Amino acid sequence: MGSNLGTVVVTGAAGRVGSAVRAGLRGEVERLVLLDRVALDARSPSEEVRRVDLRDAEAVTAALAGADAVVHLGGVPGEAPLPDLLDGNVLGTHNVLEGARRQGVGRVLLASSNRLTGFYPASQSITAELPPRPDGLYGVSKVAVEALGRLYADKFGLSVVCLRIGSFEDAPSERRHLATWLSPRDCLGYVRAALTAPGIRFTTIYAVSANTRRFWDLEAGTALGYTPVDDAEAFAPGLPPEEDSPDLQSGVYASAEYTLRHL
């Protein structure tokens, strides 16, 4: 790929997905700017680290100076009280998009989630065209994340790709992952395609591996330029048996108890 990607900023660079994206993009970009609220050390001459809280609009805008693209992964990655999700995910994403607008950033990738559509039946194969059916407050925050992306694309002409990430794991560890697994290799494939696809104003794709039992259509990802290669099915024999097949795509995440403890 070479250094034609220029300067790429990764938010949430200390996190699980961020660490994988960092390792994958290092050596492929001219400059990799790594943001997180926890301290990071630069590991190559092309890396630059910055301790930034995404809730701090001015700091985020300053960190995006000179960026060609931003991969926005930072935030709250699961069910939490709504004020925390509004702060970390909604306000944080707004600050990234507004910073990108002010700094003229060419492409913004937003980490969305499969949990935005978790109330669809497990028996249904769905596309990102269908209305949201979030499985909890976290899913609601991702509806807002995608809506902010759409607003900044429509109103201000930003180029935005929303990645509805599946279950990012080195290997599937539970039955649901047979449908939802996103392997590190496929994650990188989607991120590279989302960074390089030409002519995008706004698009939303499911970033999931080519799992035999997947719930989500791969076509939008293929149109963007990436077709996944891994399949969780290879791990099926080693996974614990499931007591009942879940009716809903989010399984246990869709239960009332899962959200009640955060209210």
Contacts to ligand NAD by CB under 6 A: 12, 14-18, 36-38, 53-55, 73-75, 77, 88, 92, 111, 113, 165, 167-168
Q: Which is nearer to ligand NAD, 17 or 178 (CB)?
A: 17
Nearest to 11, CA basis, from 101, 111, 142: 111
**Smallest gap from residue 101 Cβ to ligand NAD (A):** 19
- What is the identity of the amino acid at 146? E
Closest residue by beta carbon to ligand NAD: 15
**Smallest gap from residue 17 Cβ to ligand NAD (A):** 4
How far is it, in rounded angstroms, from Cα 18 to Cα 11? 7
Interhelix angle 184-196/16-25, rounded to 10 degrees, is 60
Strand order of the sheet with strand 31-36? Answer: 47-51, 31-36, 7-11, 69-72, 107-113, 160-165, 202-207
Q: Which is nearer to ligand NAD, 107 or 177 (CB)?
A: 177
Q: Could you say which of 120, 138, 190, 253 is catalytic?
A: 138
Q: Which is nearer to ligand NAD, 168 or 190 (CB)?
A: 168
Angle value at C-alpha 249, between 248 and 254, nearest 5 degrees: 60
**Smallest gap from residue 59 Cβ to ligand NAD (A):** 9
152 is catalytic: no
Q: Which is nearer to ligand NAD, 138 or 159 (CB)?
A: 138
For residue 72, give both structure tokens.
């926005």
**Smallest gap from residue 213 Cβ to ligand NAD (A):** 17
| Residues annotated as part of the active site | 138
